[in-house]
Structure 1
Amino acid sequence: MTDDAATARRIIELLWRREQPARRGPRPRVSVDDVVRAGVQLADADGLSKLSIRSVATRLGLRPMSVYTYVPSKDVLVALMVDSVAAEDGDIGELSLPDRLAAIADQYRDELVRHPWLLTISMWRPVLGPHLSARYERHLAVLEGSGPTGGGRFDDVELDTIVAALRSFATGSARAEIDARSASTMTGLTDEAWWEIYGPLLAEVMTTQQFPVSSRVGATVGELYQAPGDTDAAYRYGLARLIDGIVSAPRSTFSA
């Protein structure tokens, strides 16, 4: 077995908690779940770049080498962390189709805002653990049997693409929300304080003659929000338009 194949097997075994042969000796002080939980807490607080096996060990009161008996590397730990936070999402429930679509997007967006370090991880080829798999199943299941108002049902490719489109949109919005929050942290200025300083200065240089539309719109938005914008309002508006397109499609985009 190649090193890559052996690593893949170990990741899958840990993700799905496949039973390992019992070890002799003292009972372990912590579990794999404890290690993963500590990793999530550290990444939430300081970001993924500062996460290390040593920092996890310190948080758990263990020696670094002891942590390697639970997870073989930081990369494996991160894979376990990504799957674990997906467990935070619950059932969507009995809703109208537009509300089900909105709930799917909200779950993805809320997860990223709670755990910004997820944005630094490529999800193009995720290692599917039980929680990621269960969430994908739930999202597909609440859409299966539904279809656009023009008639028919969403086919399998369309089901997957709808979920992917909702996730992509939610990811962009989450990134904007996280950027907005970090701006206040980095500058020490609230959006309102920032606008009080920069609004008048921008009005001096962005003359209505040179920027007739943007100066008017920018001033209107700034006065309304006392900030450069409102990420939540943009998200709700864009999501509503995206859902309108999905619901009102006359037929499956992927039908022959």
Structure 2
Amino acid sequence: MTELLWGKEPARTRGPKPAITLTAIAEVGIAIADAEGLDAVSMQRVAGELPVTKMALYRYVPGKTELVAVMSDLAMGGPPDRPDLPWREALRTWAVDLYDGFTRHPWLLQSTIGRRLLGPNELAWMERGVAALTGTGLSGGEQLDSILVITSHVRNIAQQSTTFPGHTTGLTEEDMQLSLAEILSTEADRFPHLTTAMRTSAGSENQGLEFGLQRILDGLELLISGRTD
């Protein structure tokens, strides 16, 4: 698995030049997952999109678990280049970039959970996040925990605001808002506080992303200022 994730494809024995590459295989898997969801990805389905048989595909990647790992790291890509920024704005920008990545490939929310080996792109994201906190006075553990908390918030908002391919309800965000408003217009007595809050709110889940980020960053700023003082 490590060799595959880090671009070290298995050595080939003598014979004809390989018809495909691991990257090409992963790109086909990504296209399928983007269009139909992660459950639609299978070795048989990927082989069908390539000039190889299913059995030949196993010469490049042992199975679906390994394929999804390579797909995930490739789909994430490296973090965008950003100019040097103060730590707070650097972390905010990092979080928004991460959110954009999850919404471009919603299946990443499923494939990047749990204990697993990490590839170079995912580690590059972690490196960029930790780098923003270098020199703030936070310990290494606190820097890593800060990234974990921010990532968890980003993932949660992305999961709430994303329609997963293959699991669509057919509802847009606007449809959901209108439906809720209609229900509350007739059930205001039953849900008085929720009704009042909805009447004075506007916008989308992205407001939740920004609101949560600012509160997390407020807490970090308080912690950091205490250290520097």
Aligned residues: 225
1:220 maps to which residue? 200
Which of 97, 107, 128 is equivalent to 1:138?
128
Deviations 1:134-182 (A, max 9, x none): 222222223211x2xxxxx111111111111110110011111105x88
Change (3 A) 1:141 1:247: same
Aligned-pair RMSD on alpha carbons? 2.4
Q: Tell me the distance in 2 between the aligned counterparts of 1:206 and 1:109.
A: 34
Name the aligned partner's letter for residue 131 of structure 1: N
Q: Is 2:105 the counterpart of 1:115?
A: yes
Cα 1:20–1:69 change in 2 (3 A) is: closer
Q: Is the counterpart of residue 233 in structure 1 residue 223 in structure 2?
A: no
Q: Please, which of 71, 84, 97 is the counterpart of residue 87 of structure 2?
A: 97
**Alignment of 1:161 onto 2:145:** yes
Alignment deviations for residues 55-113 of structure 1 (CA, whole Å, 9 cap, x no partner): 11111232111111110100010111122223242233311221111122123212211
After superposition, the Cα gap between the structure-2 partners of 1:18 and 1:233, relative to the gap in structure 1 and judged at 3 Å, is same
2:221 corresponds in structure 1 to 247
* Residues 1:66 and 1:139: Cα distance change in structure 2 (over 3 Å): same
Equivalents in 1 of 2:68, 2:28: separation in Å?
11
Report the equivalent of 1:186: 169
Greater shift, 21-30 or 51-60, is seen at 21-30
Q: 2:188 aligns with which of 197, 206, 210?
A: 206
- In the alignment, structure 2 segments of 5+ residues that lack a partner are none
Query: Alpha-carbon deviation of 1:201?
Result: 4.4
Aligned AA (1:99): E
TM-score by length of 1: 0.78
The amino acid across from 2:144 in the alignment is D
Query: Offset at 1:35?
Result: 0.7
Q: Which one is further off, 240-249 or 84-93?
A: 84-93
Q: Which of these two proteins has the greater Rg computed from alpha carbons?
A: 1
Residue 172 in 1 paired to residue 152 in 2? no
CA distance in 1, matches of 2:145, 2:183: 45
CA shift at 1:202, angstroms? 3.0
What's the TM-score once normalised by structure 2's chain length?
0.87
Provide the rounded CA distance (Å) in 2 between the counterparts of 1:233 and 1:108. Answer: 16
What are the superposed Cα offsets for residues 36-71 of structure 1, whole Å, 9 maximum, x if unpaired? Answer: 111111111111111001111111232111111110
**Local SS of the residue matching 2:29:** helix
Contact 1:104 1:166 in 2 (8 A): no
Residue 193 to residue 171, structure 1, CA distance change in 2 (3 Å): closer
> Would the aligned equivalents of 1:39 and 1:81 in 2 still touch at CA under 8 Å?
yes
- In the alignment, is residue 65 of structure 1 matched against residue 36 of structure 2? no
